[in-house]
Amino acid sequence: MSKQDIATQIIYQYASMLDAKNFSDLPTIMWNDFSLTGPYELNSLEIFMGAVEQNLGAYQKTMHFIGNIEGRWDRDIYTGKTYCIASHMFAENGQSKKLDMGIIYDDTIELREGVAKFINRHFNLQWQKTDLLN
């Protein structure tokens, strides 16, 4: 598998793990010194996992659709952008609703001793919208 394919696979695994609520699997694709930056900073994998479990765990379901993935490797560091629409389903006042978020992640993946994992994702929220579900 090429290094480019490895980066793409890690990006897809992240979305799949979140949607399946398999938060305990995140260490397989993220280094312990992982950080999520953006409107907030989560500066360790342990802190990130707690935040994800608390925030996404509150939704009935999520669905992360990965669109464009563009990036490149420079030796052992991959930098790129991942375009994502993240849908979050929930109930409010007896109604089913969905929060959609348009996100562009600035990704950094690091290869250490032959293993590639996220070291940073910068969360760039482009838009969000809440709709009623049928």
CATH code, domain carrying 116: 3.10.450.50
**Type of residue numbered 113:** E
38-74 in b/e form (b: 16+ CB < 10 A) is: eeeebeebeebbeebeeebeeeeebebebeebebebe
Query: Residue 113: its pLDDT value, please?
Result: 96
Query: Residue 1: its pLDDT value, please?
Result: 82
- Stretch 41-64: mean pLDDT, rounded? 95
Q: How far is CA 53 from CA 8, 24, 83, 131, in A?
A: 24, 9, 22, 23
Three-state SS for 40?
A: coil
pTM metric for this prediction: 0.94
Element (H, E) at 18: helix 3-19
What does residue 51 show for φ and ψ, rounded to 5 degrees?
Answer: -65, -45
- Over residues 122-132, the pLDDT tens digits come to 999 999 999 99
- Structural domain count, the chain: 1
98: containing domain: 3-132
CA distance 51 to 18: 12
CA distance 23 to 50: 9
Residue % of the chain over a pLDDT of 90:
96
